[in-house]
Structure 1
Amino acid sequence: MALWLYRLGRFSARRAWLVIAAWAIIMGLVGGAAALFMGPMSNDFKLPGTETQQMADKLQAGIPEASGGSGTVVFSTTDGTKFTPAQETAISAALKDVTSVPGVTGVVDPFATTKTITDANAAVTAGQAELDANKAKLDAAKTTLDASAQQIEAGQAQIDAGKAELEKQKAQAAQIPAGTPMADAAAAQLAAAQAQIDASQAQLDQGKAQLAAGQKQYDDGQAQLTAGQEKLTNSKRMLEATSGIKFVSNNGEAAIAQVQFKDAMNAVTPETRQEVQDVLNKASDSGLKVSFSKEITEDVSQIFGAAEVVGVAVAAAVLLIMLGTFVAAGLPLLMAVVGVGIGVGGTMALTSVIEMSSISPMLALMLGLAVGIDYSLFIVNRHRQQMLDGMDVRESIARASGTSGNAVTFAGLTVVIALAALSVTGLPFLAVLGLAAAATVAVSVLVALTLTPALLSLIGTRLVSKKAWARNAEAQKKHDAETAGMSVTERAAADEEKDVAKSRKGWGGFVTKHSVVTLIVSVVALVVIAIPAASLRLALPDGGSEPVDSSAYQAYTLTSENFGAGMTGPIMVVASLPAGLSEEQANTLNLDVLDTLREVPNVVAAAPVAMSPDRQTALYQIIPSEGPASESTVQVVHDLRDEGPKVKSEYDVTIGLTGQTAANVDVSEKLGAALPPYLAIVVGLSLILLILVFRSILVPVLATAGFLLSLVAAFGGVVAVYQWGWLGGIFDVANPGAVLSFLPIILIGVLFGLAMDYQVFIASGMREAYAHGQSAKQAVRTGFKHAAPVVTAAAIIMISVFSGFIFSHLTMVRPLGFALAFGVLIDAFVVRMTIVPAAMHLLGKSAWWLPKWLDKILPDVDVEGAKLANLTVPDDASELDEKAKSAL
């Protein structure tokens, strides 16, 4: 490998303009593709196959008008007084105007909605009064009917008695001889009685008919009263269900409106978001403050801000101090820019065909800058030292490529493995993120191995300042005087003795001299720093994590203070109702289900939102007592899902959760479940690679154990700052809360890769000294002495770049920038430059132990460049160049 890279570096140096032209063409093509095909980014973290996504798809099919994204707007008075009628009018007018913005489908006017609710309450009260009056009338009618029925019953009894008496008289009259005057008189008397009874019966039948008509009228009235009471009861239940949701604060100083978009929020363009803000900000002319939620203000189109520039500027200052010239300092920066330009540009070009979160190019940018600077720096620094030692420029470039370039290759490969392994988590957005960052790192490695040698060839000896050349000449003159008269062997021995003496001084000498104490103190310190990690809680960011002076934070705060924190993150429930229900039956069933859901702890309101035309799909809104990232809200999501079987058995209704709050919980939990297998894959593959590189068992194990210490310590720092709020004023953490849910898995991948970078550069120097004949213990000191300055500079550069993202305009990136900066700080200075040399000095020769059977089957990658030590380079290196061409 070292020889191949040597040839590649020599070819790049001899054919500099060809290499430069090739990279220029690549940059042009990538830049053009990015300009032509760049699409919108999003922070909509979808989880295919989860309940959240399934319910979102069902909602899109059943109630498409309710499936688009939405954002809230909080209006408040600037003087702390109640809204005036003029201000209410201004707010309503602005909301009406915003419906004309393309992509906006509707708004919820707080005052119109509040008036509707007030009118509904009044209507319910009036309706109840009317029902009570009608009931009183019906009760009175019932009394009259009952009295009439009694009278008719009594009359019928009298008639029936008369009929019985008449029949008795008829029987007696039948015994009187016919034709006699007595018989005729009896017959006349009986006929008169019969006529009277018939008349009474007819009158009574008429009364019965009137009573039946009255009874029917009463029954109809009773049915109407029952239907009205049922409808009124549903209206009361509806008002009760929505009673926990307010749109105008109790003190009348704040109002919350909602803007509904046609598309999901990730598809709403920055132009539409800005136009919505511009239209609604007109209300501020009426003495109002207008605050927009994170969903509306979030603009993920810009990936580079002022804070990131500061980080790069610090890195440039470190390079200038270390390398001494603007040319030398600018070269690694230029290489980083080229690598980032190609890597991030290619990533942006794919945003039109691949759904990509805003953090994907941000992470690629962050890592591309850091590793791009560091990888070029390692080669430049080696080349610079070799030139000062008198080596020919092109030969020095080639050897730097074969030695430091070898370490760069394996270090970069470790980072690429760690990032690409994010694909195994089963989360599409995380896979895209990892592959984008891995591709950028791979490009940075290629740039360092080809473009850096090409530019070094053109720069020549100007890489080193005149003062440095003069100091070097003076030092060489002094060295020649000291070694005058010595043979080559004696001079080499004297130089080595002097180098060994120097290696016993400084930090490396101190660490190896007090190995046991240093090791114990360092490990204990990291364990103490890691203690807060035990309280790690994960969630996706909400408006409360935004900067204090941002509109999103102010909207979040105003909403929490005036309407309850739960209004900042409602939970959406999609219900599947039985077929064939009437509208009233469906409404009643919805209210029954909501009554059950409202019994879940920490639910303050549960209200119906919409229903499909076929009344088979319904949407409910659940308002928790706390914000979307709180522990109680996470529990509410689980409790609501646990209610599913009960709702199904009692009401034959199937429910499922969707919306951002439920999705956030799903993302966090799925990420947590993916951590162990991901860590196993990354550590396993990298251990194999490190065994191959260092031809040792203990060195890779030590490297991995050190990484785990760095990792838990980094978690401890993140929890202390972003979850507990320690030093919140320094890091602009106004509202401490849960840690970004995918921070741990990204931190594992990135920090492991970077930790192995430093391990490769530190340990390869030790391996090189050991391979060249030094004792194992002395090789630790020698390797540390040679590698420490450049690793220190590289670590400071990386920390500077990552620290620039701690104050990024994208708050989601801030804790990640802190975690990476803090993790690199610990890993580079505590683990790699303290624990590793102390442990390897204690291990001695056993650190490089490798089973013989394994030594035989492992290929020799020659990371320390031993094969280059005795390489003879012909004056005409055309043969090497031809081999390098074929390699390219």
Structure 2
Amino acid sequence: MPGVSNWAVRRPIIALISYFVVVIAIVGLGVGFGGSLNDSFDLPDTESTTAQELLGTIGNEGISAESSGATAKIVWSPANGTAIDAQSEEIIYPLLTDIAALSSVGCITNPFDVTAPIGTSCLSAVAGGDDSGAQLTPEQQKELAPAFAAAAAANSPISLDGSVATATITFVGGSGDVPSDQAVSILDQVKEANTDTMAIGANGQILEYAGQEPPSSEAIGILVAIIILLFAFGSIIAAGMPIIVAIIGLASGQMLVLVVALFLDVPSFTPILAAMIGLGVGIDYALFVLNRYRQSVLIGDPPKQAAMGAVNTAGRAVLFAGTTVIVALLGLFVLRIGFFNGLALASAVTVLMVMLSALWLLPATLSLLGTKALGLRLPWGTKPGEGKPEGQR
């Protein structure tokens, strides 16, 4: 790696072209052949997995694949009358019909007529009936009758006083298979159906975060880093360089995460975790090299000599630090859990790419820009040649 950094300093233009050719190739691999992220979590050959599979087999007997998908609920309460009277049905039934028309919706229970769910995917489950008491003797059935009645009341889609009712939406697949735009559409339709005399709501894990973008912690981190670097370097260009180098390395690393997903199970939250790790170490590694370069330039060293000295000192520290992080992440393979294997390798390749960015892209850029890398000085910035060797005051 020091050889690559030295070559980047000596031949900056060729090094930059080569680096971006590699980045473009990685982006092409990620976009063209990248796998999909998933949240499958398996612990093979363990007692807990065996028990879970057995429970799943027992629990799904007689139930169609459609009826075992992810669910959500529509809840309504009228200001007057009951939740299942004719006035309520006039408002709610068209809403349920429109929602059932979405491709991701398998069926919707119908509290107005429990034998006629909306959609055909639930018919097999309804037709199957409830045979919970089929194997009981008459004496046992009589003894358990109060419990069955209580269970039926608890599972009823209508409250005891009739003021509130619910309809259960069963989706065709799991929560990860429901398009976000359809989840948003359900919420929009529910909102539009609300009136002064009818309060309607929807809940469920699928709908909880529909249409909401997660807060960008990376953007906040970058903003804080820029402020700190501006005070530390006293130069706008120097402050922005570690950020740009880290982001470019991070972008290529994110594409490699998709490539890793071709071969291993990579959790859906991996890109976020890899971005947090990659951005942090990427700025740190670029800062090591740039700070060493800056110190040499400020005491009057020629830019190329300063860049060469930076990669041969701080660059070696970056190589050691990055390798240590990669080895630590790959240590998760010892657990022999597929979930962690994909997470570890995806994070490791992201760290590798930001390390390459600091040891390949940054040295070439410093060599090409020379003292301009410290340009756009702020009032507290030091001019090249006016600094003092480290340790002197």
Assess same fold via TM > 0.5. yes
Residue 370 of structure 1 aligns with an amino acid whose one-letter code is: G
Cα pair distance change 1:36/1:254, threshold 3 Å: farther
Asked whether the 8 Å contact 1:114–1:247 carries over to 2, the reply is: no
Letter aligned with residue 421 of structure 1:
G
Distance, in Å, in 2 between the alignment partners of 1:450 and 1:422 is 28
Shift of 1:91: 2.8
- Secondary structure of 2:169 counterpart: strand
The CA deviation at 1:59 is 5.7
Mean CA deviation greater in 9-18 or 64-73: 64-73
Q: Deviations over 1:752-811 (max 9, x none)?
A: xxxxxxxxxxxxxxxxxxxxxxxxxxxxxxxxxxxxxxxxxxxxxxxxxxxxxxxxxxxx
Q: Which amino acid aligns with 2:21?
A: I
Residue in 2 aligned with 1:103? 104
* Deviation readout 1:317-373 (Å, 9 max, x if unpaired): 212221222211111111111111011122135556654322111101111111111
Q: Which amino acid in the other structure matches residue 268 of structure 1?
A: V
Aligned with 2:300: secondary structure?
A: coil
3-state SS of 2:330 partner: helix
**1:24 corresponds to which of 13, 20, 25:** 20
Query: Is the CA contact 1:36–1:349 (under 8 Å) kept in the aligned structure 2?
Result: no
1:403 counterpart = 2:282:
no
Q: 1:438 to 1:105 in 2, by over 3 A?
A: same
CA contact (8 A) 2:111 2:157 kept: yes
Q: 8 Å contact 2:78–2:88 — kept in the other structure?
A: no
How far, CA to CA, are the matches of 2:6 and 2:345 in structure 1?
31
Q: Give the Cα separation in 1 of the matches to 2:372 and 2:44.
A: 56
Q: Which amino acid in the other structure matches residue 296 of structure 1? A: L
Q: Which residue of 2 aligns with 1:292?
A: 203
**SS of residue in 1 equivalent to 2:65:** helix
1:587-613 Cα offsets, whole Å, 9 max, x none, are: xxxxxxxxxxxxxxxxxxxxxxxxxxx
> Is residue 437 of structure 1 aligned with residue 347 of structure 2?
yes
| Matched ranges for 1:339-738 at <5 A | 339-351=249-261, 354-465=264-375, 468-470=381-383, 473=386, 499=392
Instruction: For 1:422 and 1:260, locate their aligned partners in 2 and report how far apart those are by CA, in whole Å.
Output: 37
Structure 1 pair 372/44, CA: closer, same or farther in 2 (3 Å)? same
CA distance in 2, matches of 1:397, 1:433: 35
Distance in 2 between the 1:47 and 1:379 partners?
43
User: Whole-Å Cα distance in 2 between the matches of residues 301 and 350 of structure 1?
Assistant: 28
> Take 1:320 and 1:45, find their aligned partners in 2: how far apart are those partners?
44
The letter for the 1-side match of 2:94 is A
> How far, CA to CA, are the matches of 1:300 and 1:428 in structure 2?
31
Please state whether the residue corresponding to 2:266 is helix, strand or coil.
coil
Shift of 1:418: 2.0
> What is the distance in 2 between the residues matched to 1:273 and 1:237?
36
Residue 379 of structure 1 deviates from its aligned partner by 0.4
Please tell me the residue identity of whatever aligns with 1:294.
Q
Q: Separation in 2 of the partners of 1:247 and 1:366? A: 44
Task: For 2:244 and 2:175, locate their aligned partners in 1 and report how far apart those are by CA, in whole Å.
Answer: 37
Structure with higher RCO (Cα < 8 A, 6+ apart): 2
- Check conservation: 1:44, 1:266, Cα contact below 8 A: no
Give the distance between the partners of 1:58 and 1:443, measured in 2 at CA. Answer: 47
Deviation per residue, 1:538-595 (Å, 9 max, x gap): xxxxxxxxxxxxxxxxxxxxxxxxxxxxxxxxxxxxxxxxxxxxxxxxxxxxxxxxxx
> Post-superposition shift, 1:90?
2.6
Q: Which range moves more in the overlay, 395-404 or 373-382?
A: 395-404
8 Å CA contact 2:83, 2:165 repeated in 1: no
For residue 384 of structure 1, what is the amino acid of its counterpart?
Answer: R
In 2, distance between residues paired with 1:316 and 1:27?
Answer: 25
Change over 3 Å in CA distance of 1:53–1:15 after alignment to 2:
farther
**What TM-score, normalized to structure 2?**
0.78
Output the CA distance in 2 between the equivalents of 1:38 and 1:90: 46
Cα offset, 1:18, TM superposition: 2.0
Matches within 5 A, 1:39-438: 41-43=37-39, 45-49=41-45, 50=49, 51-53=51-53, 55-56=55-56, 63-65=63-65, 68-77=68-77, 83=83, 85=85, 86-110=87-111, 112-113=113-114, 238-250=148-160, 254-285=164-195, 287-298=198-209, 305-351=215-261, 354-438=264-348
- Report the aligned-residue RMSD: 3.8
Letter in 1 for 2:167: A
Residue deviations 1:401-448, cap 9 Å, x none? Answer: 121111111111221122222222233222211211111011111111
> Is the partner of 1:259 in helix, strand or coil?
strand
Q: Structure 1 pair 64/309, CA: closer, same or farther in 2 (3 Å)? A: same
Match for residue 506 of structure 1? none
Q: Which amino acid aligns with 2:183?
A: R
State the one-letter code of the partner of 2:10: R
1:347 to 1:62, Cα distance in 2 relative to 1, 3 A: farther
Larger radius of gyration between Structure 1 and Structure 2: 1
CA contact (8 A) 1:300 1:358 kept: no
Amino acid at match of 1:30: I
Which residue identity does 1:288 align to in structure 2? A
Partners of 1:437 and 1:10 in 2: CA distance: 27
* TM-score normalised by L of structure 1: 0.37
| Amino acid paired to 1:377 | L
| Aligned residue number for residue 134 of structure 2 | none
**Contact residue 245 and residue 286 of structure 2 kept, 8 A:** yes
- Within-5 A mapping of 1:706-855: none
State the number of aligned residues. Answer: 365
Q: Is the 8 A contact 2:260 2:345 kept in 1?
A: no
Unaligned 5+ runs, structure 1: 117-226, 477-494, 503-888
SS at match of 1:73: strand
Aligned partners of 1:351, 1:343: CA distance in 2, in Å? 13
Between the two proteins, what is the percent identity of the paired residues?
A: 27
Q: 1:424 to 1:30 in 2, by over 3 A?
A: same
Give distance in 1, aligned partners of 2:366 and 2:384.
22
Q: Provide closer, same or farther for how the CA distance between residues 15 and 53 of structure 1 changes in structure 2, counting only shifts above 3 A.
A: farther
Q: CA 1:256–1:43 in 2, change beyond 3 Å: closer, same or farther? A: farther
Per-residue CA shift, 1:17-59, capped at 9, x if unaligned?
2222222223323333443455654545444441324543676
Shift in CA distance, 405/274, structure 1 to aligned 2, threshold 3 Å: same
The alpha carbon displacement at 1:82 in A equals 6.7
- 8 Å CA contact 2:235–2:374 kept in 1: the answer is yes
Contact 1:383–1:400, Cα closer than 8 Å, also in 2: yes
Distance 2:212 2:31 in 1: 13
